[in-house]
């Protein structure tokens, strides 16, 4: 059973709420822009900065997050329910899946394969992927779900920014 517990103050203090299902509008639950710490039990969750699973994203895997940089910014939560085994993503150099491409099946710092800061589109074959605008899992995150095809990162403010990608892995 996967769930997320959110708290209104750092270090798991203040008001709390436990969710086992997606929440498209945290305001309806009294937690819009007021989450300061999180516990995740089971599968990962994605926190979105806007309602209805839109805007900036941040993934939270199983564990405790007593504090985090962008506290108080989340407006919706989505549980990751996809099969995380055998992940695969294809990144493309240009929008509309043009130019050079690379198929990845494991965590990769894109500078190591001369693909850093040039990706402009992707197709996810399997798994859920986290794309970062900095190397070594640093910076802004873009979460990519199975079957997803994003033809242009421009609208997501992520064009030519991907520097590291990693699949979310199943719990042992």
Percent of the chain with pLDDT over 70: 98
> Which residue range(s) make up the domain with 133?
88-167
The predicted pLDDT at position 71 comes to: 58
Q: Do 100 and 159 have their domain in common?
A: yes
In a domain, 130, yes or no: yes
Does residue 101 fall inside a structural domain?
A: yes
Q: Are 119 and 110 in contact (CB under 8 A)?
A: yes
The pLDDT, as a whole number, for residue 108 is: 96
Could you write out the DSSP letters of every residue in 46-62? EEEEETTTEEEEEEE-S
Task: Kindly provide the residue ranges of all beta strands, DSSP E only, lying in the chain, ordered along the sequence.
Answer: 3-9, 13-19, 37-41, 45-50, 54-60, 63-65, 76-79, 88-94, 98-104, 108-109, 121-126, 129-134, 138-144, 149-150, 164-167
Confidence at residue 156, expressed as pLDDT on a 0 to 100 scale? 79
pLDDT at position 114, please? 92
pLDDT at 73: 85
Strand ranges across the sheet with 13-19: 13-19, 3-9, 37-41, 63-65
Boundary residue ending a domain (48, 79, 110): 79
Distances (CA, A) of 115 to 66, 93, 104, 155: 34, 8, 11, 20
Q: What is the CATH number of the domain that holds 127?
A: 2.60.20.10
State residue 32's pLDDT score: 82
Q: What does the pLDDT profile of the chain (172 residues) look like in tens digits?
A: 799 999 999 999 999 999 999 999 999 999 888 899 999 999 999 999 999 999 889 999 999 999 976 655 899 999 999 999 999 999 999 999 999 999 999 999 999 999 989 999 999 999 999 999 988 999 889 999 999 999 998 877 777 888 999 999 987 7
DSSP state of 113: G
β-strand pairing of 63-65 with 37-41 = antiparallel
């Amino acid at each position: 059973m996967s769930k997320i517990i959110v708290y209104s103050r750092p270090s798991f203090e203040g008001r709390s709420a436990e969710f086992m299902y997606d929440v498209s509008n945290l305001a309806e639950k009294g937690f819009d822009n007021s989450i300061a710490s999180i516990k995740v039990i089971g599968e990962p969750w994605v926190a979105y900065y806007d309602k209805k699973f839109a805007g900036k994203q941040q993934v939270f895997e199983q564990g405790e997050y007593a504090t985090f940089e962008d506290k108080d910014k989340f407006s919706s939560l989505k549980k990751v329910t996809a099969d995380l085994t055998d992940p695969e993503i294809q990144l493309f150099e240009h929008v509309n899946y043009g130019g050079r491409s690379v198929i990845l099946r494991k965590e990769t710092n894109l500078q190591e394969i001369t693909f850093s800061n040039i990706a402009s589109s992707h197709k996810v074959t399997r798994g859920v992927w986290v794309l970062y605008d900095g190397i070594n899992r640093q910076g802004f995150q873009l979460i990519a779900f199975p079957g997803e095809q994003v033809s242009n990162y421009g609208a997501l403010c992520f064009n030519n920014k991907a520097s590291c990608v990693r699949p979310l892995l199943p719990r042992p």
